């Protein structure tokens, strides 16, 4: 682990992460430490793509205030850029920044990326080997469990395993091919197969690639990660910008309205054109890859399909059409749901990882009482209360963050994270959840609803727990379930009637035989 510093600014969508990153970079000119300036590294998975500034909520050049921003707007929208690629690029830039005495400030809401940057050796791909140039007989020897599963593969699935589809073509798989790919994973690795929906072809393919690359089932790789937490890659200070839900959600609604008046629909039409040029056998929109995951594209898809191919002018857009209103409400709802997921990730994944790494560091040092040592080597997280804006931003967010950052960079004693605000005391004093990958894997299993499945090759799959409970209470499920039970009851009564009729016939025949 490097003792060089890293600043990370995280939080939900719409709380001001980019603004604070710029504030921190500007504060470095105070001369209180040896860092020449700050460099912001984007950690938003959608903002890595060129153009489409409205739908991805990129910071404007004016808002950057001359601060250098990296890993932003450098990928073509039709390409995919995944977590492993970003971590490699970000790590290289961080090391380059340290050599130049430039402080790296990572800012963004793709928390999966940020957490795997801070804590190394948690991605399954890190345990894999480089297969480029290897022939199939040079792959790692399969584990006993994998060998047993491969030996019982049906011929059609064995053929798929021997020549997995390319990542670039996975989005163009037909439904039948996608289901067969999922069937292959489920056969050789039931635990991982139950983790993914059969339509999640990209994730299914990655699980199969890991299996080939390591000689282990993907679930076995997860088990290997289950031994202990990891120390942070760099000495890290994390700022979590937080806003109470009742204040944040109206802001998110207003932001969507502003995006619409700023040209969101034109960008969505452009995004649809990009998607139409990509290879696809199904000719259906794919909302699971790259820029096409951006909130708004899926939500307005029904509305976009009704628009003429040319760019509409504001006066020609049917703002009151039912499909437009539905898309708008859906986008606002998705934005708020995404904010909830980000909070959940911080509470359930990032905070426990920070706490676990701190305990691990103290155990390694053999000095459980020397909390000050963490300022020198560990990772620390501070919550900044952005519930109120205006002048309160400078008081509650910027000034607090700059003060903590200066102490961090000067190796001074750090304040207790619970004492910075009431919100910090309330949100950071949470019960630690399990970080064990196997428990996370088991907690998100998929379940097939046999009642609502009309085609066995395209089963309806839902996540166990809340999603499943909501589904079985829907009118459609209850109607189908009642209809199925009614038909089963009719079938049962018909079979019972036939059985009774057969028994009466046997009695009549027997009586006739007796009389004869």
pLDDT tens digits for range 117-159: 998 865 554 444 444 444 445 556 787 888 888 889 898 998 9
For residue 317, what pLDDT band results from cuts at 50, 70 and 90? low
For residue 12, what pLDDT band results from cuts at 50, 70 and 90? very high
Phi, psi dihedral angles at 284 (to 5 degrees)? -120, 145
Mean pLDDT of 107-120: 93
Using CA of residue 341, residue 344, residue 350, residue 356, what is the dihedral sign? negative
For residue 195, what pLDDT band results from cuts at 50, 70 and 90? confident
**CB–CB of 486/468 below 8 Å?**
no
Q: How many CA atoms lie within 13 A of 30 on its CB side?
A: 13
CB within 8 Å of 203: residues ≥ 6 apart: 196
Range of lowest pLDDT (174-178, 270-274, 307-311, 328-332) = 307-311
The pLDDT value given to residue 135: 46
215 vs 426, residue with greater confidence:
426
**CB–CB of 37/102 below 8 Å?**
yes
**CB–CB of 118/20 below 8 Å?**
no
Q: Each residue of 348-360: b (16+ CB within 10 Å) or e?
A: bbbbbbbbbbbee
Q: Residue 297 pLDDT > 60, yes or no?
A: yes
What is the Cα–Cα distance from 118 to 222, expressed in whole angstroms? 19
What the block records as the tokens of 336 is 């708020």
Q: Residue 5 pLDDT > 90, yes or no?
A: yes
pLDDT tens profile 174-184: 888 888 999 99
What is the Cα–Cα distance from 58 to 64, expressed in whole angstroms? 10
The pLDDT value given to residue 452: 84
The widest CA-to-CA distance across the chain, in whole angstroms, is 120
Q: How far is CA 243 from CA 21, 156, 427, in A?
A: 17, 53, 11
For residue 281, what pLDDT band results from cuts at 50, 70 and 90? very low
The pLDDT value given to residue 254: 96
For residue 368, what pLDDT band results from cuts at 50, 70 and 90? very low
Tell me the CA end-to-end span of the chain in Å, nearest whole number. Answer: 100
What is the Cα–Cα distance from 359 to 371, expressed in whole angstroms? 10
Mean pLDDT of 59-63: 95
**CB–CB of 241/387 below 8 Å?**
no
The pLDDT value given to residue 88: 94
The pLDDT value given to residue 446: 81
Question: Own/partner pairs for 299-306, CB < 8 Å, 24+ apart?
Answer: 299/327, 299/330, 299/331, 299/334, 300/265, 300/268, 300/324, 300/327, 300/330, 300/331, 301/327, 302/326, 302/327, 303/327, 304/268, 304/269, 304/272
| Strand stretches in 54-130, DSSP E | 68-70, 102-107
The pLDDT value given to residue 213: 81
What is the Cα–Cα distance from 9 to 22, expressed in whole angstroms? 10
What is the Cα–Cα distance from 407 to 188, expressed in whole angstroms? 52
Q: Residue 364 pLDDT > 70, yes or no?
A: no
211 vs 359, residue with greater confidence:
211
pLDDT tens profile 224-274: 655 456 788 999 999 999 999 999 999 999 999 999 999 999 899 888 888
The pLDDT value given to residue 307: 76
Its pTM stands at 0.72
For residue 284, what pLDDT band results from cuts at 50, 70 and 90? low
* Environment class of 197 (CB within 10 Å of its CB; exposed 0-12, middle 13-18, buried 19+): middle
What the block records as the tokens of 176 is 């039948």
The CB density around residue 253, as the number of other CB atoms within 10 Å, is 18
Report the phi/psi class of residue 263: left, alpha or beta, with left for phi > 0 and alpha for psi in -120 to 50. Answer: left
Element (H, E) at 380: strand 379-385
For residue 336, what pLDDT band results from cuts at 50, 70 and 90? very high
109 vs 374, residue with greater confidence:
109
Percent of the chain scored above 70 by pLDDT?
77
Which residue is listed with tokens 């196997």? 438
What is the Cα–Cα distance from 194 to 177, expressed in whole angstroms? 18
Q: Residue 459 pLDDT > 60, yes or no?
A: yes
The pLDDT value given to residue 238: 97
Q: Residue 440 pLDDT > 70, yes or no?
A: no
Tell me whether strands 102-107 and 461-463 are parallel, antiparallel or unpaired: unpaired
Report the mean per-residue pLDDT for the chain.
81
Tell me whether strands 68-70 and 102-107 are parallel, antiparallel or unpaired: unpaired
């Amino acid at each position: 682990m490097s003792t060089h510093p890293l600043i990370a600014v995280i939080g939900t969508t719409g709380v001001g992460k980019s603004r604070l990153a710029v504030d921190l970079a500007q504060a470095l000119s105070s001369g209180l430490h040896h860092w020449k300036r700050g460099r912001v590294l984007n950690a938003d998975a959608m903002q890595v793509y060129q153009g489409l500034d409205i739908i991805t909520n990129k910071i404007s050049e004016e808002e950057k205030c001359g601060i250098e921003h990296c890993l932003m707007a450098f990928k073509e929208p039709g390409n995919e850029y995944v977590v492993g690629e970003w971590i490699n690029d970000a790590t290289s830039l961080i090391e380059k920044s340290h050599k130049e005495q430039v402080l790296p400030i990572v800012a963004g809401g793709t928390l999966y990326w940020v957490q795997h940057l801070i804590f190394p050796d948690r991605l399954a791909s890190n345990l894999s080997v480089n297969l480029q140039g290897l022939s199939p007989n040079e792959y790692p020897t399969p584990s006993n469990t994998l060998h047993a599963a491969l030996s019982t593969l049906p011929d059609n699935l064995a053929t798929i395993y021997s020549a997995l589809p390319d990542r670039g073509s996975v989005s163009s798989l037909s439904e039948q091919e996608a289901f067969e790919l999922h069937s292959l994973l489920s056969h050789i690795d039931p635990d991982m197969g139950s983790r993914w929906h059969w339509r999640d072809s990209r994730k299914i393919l990655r699980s199969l690639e890991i299996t080939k690359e390591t000689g282990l089932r993907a679930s076995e790789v997860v088990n290997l990660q289950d031994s202990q937490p990891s120390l942070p890659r760099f000495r890290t200070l994390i700022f979590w910008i937080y806003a109470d839900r009742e204040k944040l959600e109206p802001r998110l609604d207003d932001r969507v309205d502003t995006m619409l008046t700023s040209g969101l629909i034109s960008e969505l039409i452009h995004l649809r054109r990009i998607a139409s040029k990509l290879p696809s056998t199904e000719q259906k929109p794919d909302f699971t890859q790259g820029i096409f995951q951006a909130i708004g594209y899926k939500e307005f898809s029904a509305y976009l399909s009704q628009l003429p191919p040319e760019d509409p002018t504001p006066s020609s857009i049917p703002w009151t059409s039912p499909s437009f209103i539905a898309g708008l409400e859906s986008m606002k709802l998705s934005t708020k749901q995404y904010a909830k997921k980000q909070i959940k990730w911080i509470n359930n994944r990032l905070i426990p990882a920070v706490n676990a790494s701190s305990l691990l560091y103290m155990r390694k040092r053999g000095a459980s009482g020397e909390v000050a040592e963490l300022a020198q080597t560990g990772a620390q997280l501070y919550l900044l209360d952005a519930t109120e804006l205006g002048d309160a931003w400078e008081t509650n967010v910027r000034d607090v963050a700059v003060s903590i950052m200066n102490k961090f960079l000067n190796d001074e004693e750090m304040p207790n994270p619970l004492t910075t605000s009431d919100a910090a005391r309330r949100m950071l004093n949470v019960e630690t959840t399990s970080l064990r990958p196997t428990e996370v894997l088991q907690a998100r299993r998929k379940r097939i609803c046999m009642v609502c499945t009309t085609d066995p090759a395209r089963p309806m799959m839902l996540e166990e727990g809340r999603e499943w409970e909501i589904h079985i209470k829907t009118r459609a499920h209850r109607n189908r379930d009642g209809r199925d039970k009614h038909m089963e009851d009719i079938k049962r009564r018909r079979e019972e009637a036939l059985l009774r009729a057969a028994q009466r016939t046997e009695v009549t025949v027997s009586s006739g035989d007796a009389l004869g």
